[in-house]
Amino acid sequence: EPYLERLSFRLWRTIVTHEKLYANLLSLAYYLQKPFRENDSLKSLPYPFSRWTRDRDFPAVSETPFRKRWEKMKRGGGEGGAR
């Protein structure tokens, strides 16, 4: 298990430190989640996430990532506008 845990953290670090990779994976996740999506949450997911969603909902990936909404808001064209 320690090996798998280290591998998981390395993979996560690689994903979150490469902006384009992260954005592409978010887009992919948005489309892959569609069969499981109900409103803004995922009620029941397949293994290995099924144990998590057995007792709680998992937040769905937004069609517009936070980073894009944030950039739009900073330019004054988004929710809340620029301050």
What is the tens place of the pLDDT at every residue in 24-77? 999 999 999 999 999 889 988 888 888 888 888 889 998 888 888 888 999 987
Q: Identify the pLDDT of residue 51.
A: 87
C-alpha torsion sign, points 23, 4, 47, 42: negative
Q: What is the pLDDT at residue 80? A: 54
Residue 71 DSSP symbol = H
Collapsing DSSP to helix, strand or coil, 41 comes out as strand
